[in-house]
Structure 1
Amino acid sequence: MIDLPNSGARAYLAQPGTTPAPGVLVLHAWWGFTPFFEGVCDRLAQAGFVALAPDLYEGDTTDTIEGAEALRGQHPNERLDEIANDALSTLRANPAVSGPVAVLGFSLGAAWAAVLATERPEDVRAAVVMYGAYTGLDHSPARAAYLGHFGEQDDMEPLDGVREMESEIRAGGRDVTFYVYPEAQHWFMENDRPEYRPADAELAWERTLAFLAQQLEAGA
């Protein structure tokens, strides 16, 4: 864990054996920074990326939906945005990172991935959203390509909203590919959740690594 210089929040940093390397900012779901998201960073480092995941909830975690709803109300958007931007700046300034970076967001974190891509176009080359759609955003300032993974049976994120976000990204002139996984629900990537689907999670992970490698290498 490292201290972020401006917000005072903490973040988990994982680096590959060889640097400089492409960077990926990881933004956790509404459970807080649980061990699963630390594992995401470790897997990215094993794949050759420098990964940084800010603790947006500053130490608060839960494993229940009721607890997550309560935590969400305790952490205002302004503070989350401050921490996410601080983490992005910290990742970009890391001498181990080569060039613009990607943002990978899960559910709650997916909204900030989309926002950062529009607010920080010079810094964000690629955005990956995991079962988190954010509509009503003007994507025309962005320079990122977008990848998304969504569950067909996701009551938390209906496909109508997913398709609306996809259309808005395309209307902004950005490349976008959204995958829908039959029978999958929300949180299907997370191996500490009952909704976890190993085969779908592995396929989404492989697609994500290929996308990140292509986009960040192309932007190097």
Structure 2
Amino acid sequence: MTEVVLFHHAQGLTPGVTAFADALRTEGHTVHTPDLYEGRTFDTLDGGLAHLEQIGVDKILDRGVLAVADSPAELVYIGFSLGVLPAQKLAQTRPGARGAVFAHSCVPSSCFGTWPSQVPVRIHAMEEDRLFTTEGDADAARALVDEAPDAELFLYPGDQHLFVDSSLPAHDAEAAALMLDRTLTFLRSR
């Protein structure tokens, strides 16, 4: 089975993020869920983003790198929204990555160099998610699909940002189940 690192979104390591990790574990995968917020969670996205502003994106990236420092190189990196930043950085810059899955977000690969041709990537978002469509993430995702030899962008009907997290009001059970199924299929091939 595959060893995975799952990085949480801006609201922290919520029960919904843990539930997604547990669903992967049920299928036999080893899943690590580093807490980039050191135990803090937030009831709203705005609250989480305010906390992020206080600690800074660089600190989140540093914590992500530190979280895998003693891990084997052969990992699949999964990121939910904010968690895409450390997941994408590590997938692009840490040798040995077996793949990447980005949910709700994507940044230009140029932020971390170029996309390594041997690393497959899957990106998942809702079609009308305004954060994905207006903040540049959709453009970055399409560019990454054009750049990476093994990349796919999956768009789901709806407008929710954190639709995968079952503990949040944005949760969309049907879309989340399909994303989970697609992620499990992806992990079986890694």
TM-score (norm 2): 0.89
Match for residue 157 of structure 2? 182
In the TM superposition, residue 169 of structure 1 has moved relative to its aligned partner by 2.2
> How far is 1:183 from its partner?
1.9
- Say yes or no: does 1:72 pair with 2:47: no
Please give the alpha-carbon distance, in whole angstroms, between the structure 2 residues aligned to 1:81 and 1:160: 19
Q: 2-side partners of 1:60 and 1:160: how far apart?
A: 25
Alignment counterpart, residue 62 of structure 2, candidates 69, 79, 82? 82
Higher relative contact order (CA 8 A, sep 6+): 2
Q: Distance in 2 between matches of 1:81 and 1:124?
A: 17
Aligned 8 A contact 2:116 2:148 in 1: no
Relative distance call for 1:172 and 1:139 in structure 2 (3 A) is farther
Matches within 5 A, 1:152-163: 152-158=127-133, 161-163=136-138
Partners of 1:152 and 1:159 within 8 A in 2:
no
Residue 123 of structure 1: how far off its partner (Å): 2.7
The match for 1:59 among 34, 39, 47 is 39
| Paired positions, count | 188
CA displacement, residues 113-160 of structure 1 (integer Å, 9 cap, x when unaligned): 11111111x231100000112125243345310101110110111078
- Using the TM superposition, name which of 41-50 and 100-109 deviates more: 41-50
Q: Is the 8 A contact 1:118 1:142 kept in 2?
A: no
1:43 deviates by: 1.6
Gaps of 5+ in 1: 1-20, 93-98
**Partner secondary structure for residue 118 of structure 2:** coil
- Deviating 4+ runs (over 4 angstroms): none
Separation (CA, whole Å) in 1 of partners of 2:162 and 2:100? 18
Q: What does 1:51-130 align with in structure 2 at a 5 Å threshold?
A: 51-92=31-72, 100-120=74-94, 122-130=95-103
